[in-house]
Structure 1
């Protein structure tokens, strides 16, 4: 069903679904033995669904209460918890023993995920991290990686990428972002390829900022491959692709110049890089020498400038004024970087005029 236009009825269908869940809960309570293991899992799943329903209807307190009940039931079923909560906070634990039943661990991973997501929406990303790392620990301890727990863990790494980004732990955020993108490819299920491409471009930008040219280039090629499989994608993602490629080549010029000024001759890439996607594209580059001469710099410049200019077809001044000005500023900066490599003063002046 579509959401009613009247704002007063925005949660109407949530309330209808909630009523059905409550009815199922009442029916479950009428069973002769609600303590058997099947009933315990069913009860936990019902409270998980109710918790999500309340949270989506912006009733966070009631949502958390149901998630806690679901968690308690799954701890009882499993025979052990992966996280302990006290007034001082919560800590991940590593249970042992032969009585642990991991057969429904994907349900507990879902519960930990949702509790982590809830704490993140409340602004407590440190506490959110605890629950999400408990999910990850549970996933890692499970010998049989079923499709259900793989799907649940895909959400775990996605949430962890967001949490680490909020915590300003950018290296960890990028690692989990890459894991998320890889998980989406490996599940072979439908996913938003435009969003995947956009996230991959952001990841490329992060690696570029860390001067990891091998992985920045690899993410660019991965994004180009995935978006090429989408028919009729919008022009914005194409323009963003052009900008990302242009910035990649500009960064090669900037970093090479800085190293040259510092007296370094070290290549920009020297050695194998870990981490690849499940895509039919070449592995990350393992060699990339630094740019030393004006002639070499000019060739890199010719790869960057047309991409910036191509992006202006979408980011035109009339429709996208702010972005248009940003790209123009990038073009000016690109010229300035190239000028650094030119020793002749008159040619420098000429290039400044063109800039």
Structure 2
């Protein structure tokens, strides 16, 4: 060992690290990996200068392959502290450092198998020393890279094994030893150039943050959503604590996490994530450029506006879901506001503001000091309890609408057709649920009219061949909206002693429009020969049956003074009711999808023939 040229080794190693950090776009266009290959050559030279690996460390070739960990019980147990003492141990560790960097180098140049081989060699060399102060960080980083590699191969369970092993090792080290370990870059530095304790601590915490970040993705992929959310939240908290984050990326991740909480109806937690996203996103462009800064930090204004739009869309979902949840809790069996339920919820509201809320808030809280205050300031402007009346619902509606306008600034129909339409549909849904809280029927009609005005233009230029599903969704929603408006106008007319011809005409026009869009939807289900399917697909079964039911009801609601025309309308209505009954007899599984509509259809199939016979008798007498 005395003859090893340490000065030359250190110089080559530092040069290799410098080349490894060269950004790809700074290489020649035809040689994008030129700097990586240069770094690799230097690392191979260092490896040759260090000499072969000690034989005693190479006896168990499969020991640290995560795919074979079940065959190696020792890796299932907590590690033992074995210090790196003596020249053999030191050489093993230095060779492991080189194997690690070679592994990362090969992965960076898309040579995954070679990268895996070097990383596994690194783990084998460090196996007995993995809990030591000198090796724990290097060992964890090698496992993390293997976890990412296997994740990219869609071998998620193997990736999970590596990453959970890293987490367990980190936790054991912090519990049993705790002092900031040596960073992998320090093994070839002279004593006077080694890192401070503070810097080591910062780097080791960054390694731990990476474990949590990648585990969050693995659990998400495995549909373990509860765990994924927990690890994502922990990652975001650590990034803030250590000031190791990119504002735009962090904000989008926090906003995305809010969607998990929204789906769980945890609106306080969702609001906190979204408020934090707003505050941190506001830092974008204000942070000095560093070597860690990504292209998303100010160099790409389009990406900035896209991410801003994505966060806005998460806010829209928050406002919409909170309002819809309130509607579900207060509506009666026909979808109208139940005043008794509303009173009960008012009484329960005080209980919602108990100590549990402060505990939950503390558990989810991001940031400290000024940052925490800034997030709280945003939170205080947004309610998280379910709105119980029109004024409270209107607050959420206006906030949601503000974010609709913000999202549409980027997601315009020219270039982002599907995204734009989804945003408009959410805007329509905000009006729909606000109308639920409105007691004035005329004002409710106006809200539905606004929905029509924003939805109808969407399908004018959409090619049904490419946007069939979107077309169907919009046609169905427009039909429903006209249907609701007609019902409201009928209710208004019923309160009048003598509705004038203008109101009657209005009701019939709304009826005609609803019929038009229901029929467009039903026609979209026909095959190229314009034949309606004998068996309707599961994905459109309920919408198709509901459309048939409502068409039947609409024909029965047409106001006319002509008995012959009324008889024709009743016959058409009966035809659609019979379709529903006959279809459910042929396909019993369909009955479960439309229980209420089926019962009413059976009733109408029984009653309408008698009513029609009376009309025929009346016509015969005339």
Same fold per TM (> 0.5)?
yes
Instruction: Quote the Cα distance in structure 1 between the aligned partners of 2:141 and 2:267.
Output: 36
Unaligned 5+ segments in structure 1 are 79-99
Alignment of 1:108-127 (within 5 A): 108-127=139-158
Instruction: Quote the Cα distance in structure 1 between the aligned partners of 2:102 and 2:353.
Output: 51
Alignment of 1:157-176 (within 5 A): 157-176=212-231
Q: Alpha carbons of 1:134 and 1:145: their partners in 2 closer, same or farther (altered >3 Å)? A: farther
Deviations 1:301-345 (A, max 9, x none): 122212212332332333533322221111011111112223444
Matched, 1:250 2:309: no
Instruction: Quote the Cα distance in structure 2 between the aligned partners of 1:130 and 1:160.
Output: 10
Q: Alpha carbons of 1:31 and 1:215: their partners in 2 closer, same or farther (altered >3 Å)? A: closer
Q: 2:499 aligns to what?
A: none
Q: Alpha carbons of 1:171 and 1:31: their partners in 2 closer, same or farther (altered >3 Å)? A: closer
Q: Alpha carbons of 1:16 and 1:196: their partners in 2 closer, same or farther (altered >3 Å)? A: same
How big is the alpha-carbon RMSD for the aligned residues of Structure 1 and Structure 2?
A: 2.7
Q: 2:135 aligns to what?
A: 104
> Does the 8 Å CA contact 2:247/2:281 hold for their aligned counterparts?
yes
Tell me: higher relative CO, structure 1 or 2? Use CA pairs within 8 A at least 6 residues apart: 1
Q: 1:4 aligns to what?
A: 28
Instruction: Quote the Cα distance in structure 2 between the aligned partners of 1:101 and 1:30.
Output: 23
- From 278, 282, 297, the equivalent of 2:367 is 278
> Does the 8 Å CA contact 1:245/1:307 hold for their aligned counterparts?
yes
Alignment of 1:1-355 (within 5 A): 1=22, 2-6=26-30, 9-29=31-51, 35-78=87-130, 101-143=132-174, 144=178, 146=180, 147=201, 148-189=203-244, 191-231=245-285, 234-261=304-331, 265=345, 271-272=357-358, 273=360, 274-279=363-368, 280-282=371-373, 288-355=384-451
> Does the 8 Å CA contact 1:161/1:177 hold for their aligned counterparts?
yes
1:102 to partner: Cα distance: 4.2
Instruction: Quote the Cα distance in structure 2 between the aligned partners of 1:324 and 1:37.
Output: 61
- Count of aligned residue pairs for this structure pair: 331
1:65 to partner: Cα distance: 1.4
> Does the 8 Å CA contact 2:213/2:232 hold for their aligned counterparts?
yes
1:173 to partner: Cα distance: 1.3
> Does the 8 Å CA contact 2:144/2:211 hold for their aligned counterparts?
yes
Between structures 1 and 2, the one with greater helix share: 2
Instruction: Quote the Cα distance in structure 1 between the aligned partners of 2:115 and 2:269.
Output: 40
Instruction: Quote the Cα distance in structure 1 between the aligned partners of 2:232 and 2:307.
Output: 19
1:293 to partner: Cα distance: 2.0
1:29 to partner: Cα distance: 1.1
> Does the 8 Å CA contact 1:54/1:63 hold for their aligned counterparts?
yes
> Does the 8 Å CA contact 2:53/2:95 hold for their aligned counterparts?
no
Q: Alpha carbons of 1:205 and 1:39: their partners in 2 closer, same or farther (altered >3 Å)? A: same
TM-score by length of 2: 0.50
Which stretch shows the higher mean deviation, 106-115 or 52-61?
52-61
Deviations 1:47-82 (A, max 9, x none): 11111112222222222111111101111324xxxx
1:260 to partner: Cα distance: 2.1
TM-score by length of 1: 0.84
